[in-house]
Chains A and B, each alone.
Chain A
Amino acid sequence: MSATINDLAALRDGSKTDQRLSTPARDAFTIVGKGVPVKDAIEKVTGSIKYGVDFAVPHMAHGKILRSPHAHARIVRIDTARAEAIPGVYGVVTHEDAPGGTWENAWFNYRGRIMDGTARFVGDEIAAVAAVSAEIAEHALAAIDIEWEILPAVFDPHEARKPGAPQIRDEGNERDAYVVEWGDIAEGHDLADVLVESDVVFASQQYASIGRNACVAEWMNDRVTLWTSSQTPSELRDGVHEAFEIPLSKVRVMALPSGSSFGSWWSANFMLVTVMLAKKIRRAVKIELSNAECMGTVKRRHIEHTRGRMGAKRDGTLTLAQFDHVIDNGAYGFKDDVGFFCVDMWGRALHGDYQVHAVNTNLVTAGCMRGVGDITLGSAVERTANRVAAELDIDPIEFRLKNQIRPGEPLRMRHSLHNMDCSVEEYLAGIPEELRAEWPELFHLSSGSTAEILTTGAEAFRWSERWQGWGKPDSVDGPLRRAVGVGTGAHVCGVEFEGSSSAVVRINGDGSAKVHASCGRQGQGSETTLSQVAAEELGIPFTMIEIETGDTDSCPWSHGSLASNTLYRIGWAVRAAAKDAKRQLLEIAGREVFHLAPDELQVVEGVIAPVDGSQPGVSVEDVMNMLRLADTLGQTSSITGRPATPMPPSTAFARHFAAHFAEVEVDIETGEIRLTDYLATQDSGTIVNPQVMKNQVIGGAICGAGFALFEELHFGDDGRVLNANMLDYKLLRCADFPHQAGVIFGDSYDPVGPFGARGAGEAPMAASVAAIQAAVFNATGVWVELPMTPERVLTAMGVI
């Protein structure tokens, strides 16, 4: 049995409902828990860090993409001769050049072939030109002659579900319904003293990353290298391998840091178009996207529509949660569920039935954006639950303490099961007996909840003083009404059964160490927190640890940075790899220096010494030197560690939780909403770096506030995105958010995650939307549809 499983068992000795490690153990951490500056801080403040747009190789060509003017159309004939004849043009690619392979990314963005002669949204990639300059390439696009057959298009997901609707994909428009149900809905209905119906439509949010993207691709014979900003280097490598039908060994992705990606930059078809162009002209090519392309042709959040009901007994016990949720996947999205961890969070409802219907439309592809599902369905559930609580006149915090999940309780989602490659029985049989004994059933919440953070947050926010009751402002000053609201959110910590993320940790000859872990660097600080995990396990100073995250030739496969996966799952792998490297180091030191067993030794601040202090210490560097000088001790002068096992199978899975408290001031004459106070609380287990975590939490709150208040993509009647720019697509600015906003962390400890840590970045988005919407209700007495623009506020109030 691996050491990790031992840890897991040991940590589960406590009660089911309290997974906290005793404080002294967490206090013993030397670098985990410290708010050290992020590793790339100096590069960022001096402007020297290189993103995809900054990368170049000598003599590269510049590419531009021809995009469809039609939402749905087939190319009858395409003629590139005029474009190819333009001086300075190296070559043109169309669907006729596209390889036969199809690619997908992270199991729900399925593109198909890179180009197949059909355009499925306005902006779809049709052809591309490579030239000596971007200007010439752009000019040549206009010289490509196309004869189109216009096909009927559909933009509304409800319309796209109907028989006879235009079919966008060979697989049909609609994915299989995704269903989570427990108990008996009829009984939940009968038990309810109060029943509330709900019908909520959500706008599409744009990632609106500051920082565009570019891709440079270069072939050397039959091998290709890509340099681009990506959160998912391994997945991108896999996509190129699939589309071009070449061995994985011939694809190298060198992922660069990205701007505020939020899920925008996983793999994108423009990257594969770059690879096509480079292959055709046998020269390196760079395609740099304009901001309009980034905001209008890559991805966006799904348009979603939730209808449902919740019921409760007079004492506040939820008896029923029933929701039917429709999402539009746009042209190439393939997602059949949407996050959905609100279902787990409200899983104490006695009876539940959630159904998700995912449908393709001829709008630009919808993809997972930060907080996917939990910012939409989750906030609809929050709003419905709030209305139930209001009917019963129960305080929202009390209502949540009564109805939200605690550690050890069942996860209602069976999200993971359709990913399993074995039966549930086989899976359970693979879990060691001692782990199964406590929580024998699939699946339970491993640690954390909203309970502690709601309680500590309410106290810090002075909730009981400020809360005046449902629909009641706490101050009225002319047209200005102030009120507070609370909202909660949950999200996953990586997705179960989707392959094992791995890592390599190498101890070098001088006692420094290098971590190789495939993930993104989109500002979430993983290069820093993963290095802290490695430093803590190795006992080597943090300043001696460096990390490579982007090179798929040196980093083992991982999902990358999505689904709040990085610290929890890749972090687990980094710790396991560091353990393996340290074991090898201590075996050598024990045998050659101390004549002790490895478990009688420890490494502290780069010095190896007996735990009992019986002998003076020897530096890691000195031991590594012995390795270098003596042929008999090892194969190389460095030690390479890797996880001895995959992440242990478990019946308990992690979620992360957020509870946010907002105060708003609403001008009921103008409909304008101002955020006047904010407190965010977060339960993510051990906080590896409080500075990084604060930024994740507040950043999530701000992005959620944008979705709550004014972010909305607009589409024309022809399906075109009308506001793919930052003038017409508004983003929150500094003065729009209370700068005194506070952050409080919960104190839970996860039994699986590295040093007790879990994921972090997505639950804050959901909690923010819910809190602000509830505060606006309390200020105005009406529920306002999102985004809560002044016009919608006044409409909801019946003023206009």
Chain B
Amino acid sequence: MIIVRVNGREQTFEPAADTSLANMLRDEAGLIGVRVSCAEGECGACTVLLDEQPVTSCLMLAHQAAGREVTTIEGFGSPEHLHPIQQAFIEEQGFQCGFCTPGFIIAAAAFLAENPSPTEAEASIAMSGNICRCGAYPYIVRAVMTAAERLRGATA
């Protein structure tokens, strides 16, 4: 049995030795916003924060999260209270099919925590660890820039 703090609440899990963190979060915690596409760490759709660092949860074993804190897209905002990054992705329409979107939003959150005032070029490079096959990239960059401005405003 392992204890993982998921989206601010401690939960216990009994994953098999070879269960990935992504599958535990999806199948045991019902967090379907953890999207699994390539399942080999290339596309970034399964990105979650592990102790505030972005990781591809498809490549991590569930047991590696024992005693640590995981944040998924479900921990970011609710329909009534969207996170500023979620709001910015809607306004700039930084997505199409939406499958990659949680991964991008989490990657953006980790990036903006490190670099609150990025240039567009920096944002573009930072968003290159994830794949958006629909090709919303220019609008993803705009969403990150809009979110950065809002987040700076919120902390000023």
Q: Which residues of A contact B (CB under 8 A)?
A: 35, 37-38, 40-51, 53-54, 208-212, 257-262, 290-291, 521-525, 691-692, 694-695, 698-703, 725-727, 731-741
Are the CB atoms of B124 and A37 closer together than 8 Å?
no
Given A523-B96, A691-B93, check contact A212 B135 (CB 8 Å). no
User: Which residues in B have their C-beta under 8 angstroms from that of A725?
Assistant: 38, 40, 42
Per-residue CB contact flags for chain B residues 50-87 toward chain A (1 = under 8 Å, else 0) read 00000000000000000000001110111100100010
Q: How far is the CB of B28 from chain A (nearest CB, A)?
A: 13
Are the CB atoms of B76 and A37 closer together than 8 Å?
no
With the chains together, A524 CA to B97 CA distance in Å? 7
Are the CB atoms of B93 and A260 closer together than 8 Å?
no
Are the CB atoms of B32 and A523 closer together than 8 Å?
no
With the chains together, A96 CA to B32 CA distance in Å? 37
Per-residue CB contact flags for chain B residues 84-102 toward chain A (1 = under 8 Å, else 0) read 0010011101011111111
Given A211-B35, A733-B131, check contact A45 B141 (CB 8 Å). no
Q: How far is the CB of A414 from chain B (nearest CB, A)?
A: 33
With the chains together, A530 CA to B100 CA distance in Å? 24
Are the CB atoms of A259 and B37 closer together than 8 Å?
yes
Quick one: which of B72, B78, B93, B135 contacts A700, CB cutoff 8 A?
B135
**Does residue B45 face the partner (Cβ distance < 8 Å to A)?**
yes
Are the CB atoms of B105 and A45 closer together than 8 Å?
yes
With the chains together, A704 CA to B53 CA distance in Å? 34
Are the CB atoms of B135 and A703 closer together than 8 Å?
yes
Quick one: which of A45, A291, A741 contacts B138, CB cutoff 8 A?
A741
**Does residue B3 face the partner (Cβ distance < 8 Å to A)?**
no
Q: How far is the CB of A787 from chain B (nearest CB, A)?
A: 16
B interface, over-half SS: loop
Q: Which residues of B contact A (CB under 8 A)?
A: 31-40, 42-43, 45, 72-74, 76-79, 82, 86, 89-91, 93, 95-102, 105, 120-121, 123-125, 127-142
Are the CB atoms of A46 and B135 closer together than 8 Å?
no
Q: How far is the CB of B8 from chain A (nearest CB, A)?
A: 16
Are the CB atoms of A259 and B73 closer together than 8 Å?
no
A interface, over-half SS: loop
Are the CB atoms of B97 and A210 closer together than 8 Å?
yes
Give 13 A-B pairs besides A210-B134, A726-B38 with Cβ atoms closer than 8 angstroms: A42-B79, A44-B101, A45-B98, A47-B74, A210-B133, A260-B132, A291-B38, A523-B96, A523-B134, A694-B139, A702-B137, A732-B135, A734-B124
Given A212-B37, A726-B42, check contact A698 B131 (CB 8 Å). no
Quick one: which of A45, A208, A523, A727 contacts B90, CB cutoff 8 A?
A45
With the chains together, A50 CA to B97 CA distance in Å? 11
User: Which residues in B have their C-beta under 8 angstroms from that of A47?
Assistant: 31-35, 72-74, 101-102
Are the CB atoms of A46 and B86 closer together than 8 Å?
yes
Q: Could you name 10 residue pairs across A and B whose Cβ atoms are closer than 8 Å?
A: A37-B91, A46-B73, A46-B76, A47-B34, A47-B101, A291-B40, A523-B98, A695-B136, A733-B131, A737-B138
With the chains together, A45 CA to B101 CA distance in Å? 6
Quick one: which of B73, B102, B138 contacts A739, CB cutoff 8 A?
B138
Are the CB atoms of B139 and A695 closer together than 8 Å?
yes
Are the CB atoms of B125 and A735 closer together than 8 Å?
yes
Are the CB atoms of A695 and B93 closer together than 8 Å?
yes
User: Which residues in A have their C-beta under 8 angstroms from that of B31?
Assistant: 47
User: Which residues in A have their C-beta under 8 angstroms from that of B105?
Assistant: 45
With the chains together, A48 CA to B34 CA distance in Å? 10
